[in-house]
Amino acid sequence: MNKQNRKMIKEYLENRLAELIATAESRDTAVENCADDNEYASRLTEQKLNIVLREREAKLISEIESTLQRIDHYEFGECENCGSEIGIARLKAKPTTTLCVGCQAQMEEQQLDWVG
């Protein structure tokens, strides 16, 4: 991977991280006084949805922070399983990936074997 691609992906991830942090902080997970049971049920459902979204955002924030650390330490773009280079097209599609296509496919096959 060349420096230009690394820089482009790093800038994208930094921007995405800032967006996620702002979004996560703005999510309202409180259920305040409600006029009736229907309004309470609606707000409770909304609260549960916001909590699930916050959890997803927190996971993605963690993945992005980890990826940015790998970029800074020049460990980015290498498969953590086999050590081969991860293709630039795959990294552009999912910059937080840590596995090459072959290792990812192998892992997914193993998971399917466990399911039955």
Residue numbers of the domain that contains 89:
3-115
Indicate the number of domains in the chain. Answer: 1
pLDDT of residue 55: 93
pLDDT of residue 43: 85
Is 61:21 a contact under the CB 8 Å cutoff? yes
Please check the confidence at residue 116 and state whether its pLDDT lies above 70. Answer: no
* Burial group, residue 76, by CB count within 10 angstroms (0-12, 13-18, 19+): buried
What span, in angstroms and rounded, lies between the C-alpha atoms of 46 and 40? 10
Here the CATH number for the domain that contains residue 47 is 1.20.120.910
Per residue in 12-34, pLDDT (tens digit) is 999 999 999 999 888 776 767 87
Per residue in 40-87, pLDDT (tens digit) is 898 889 889 988 999 999 999 999 999 999 999 988 999 999 999 999
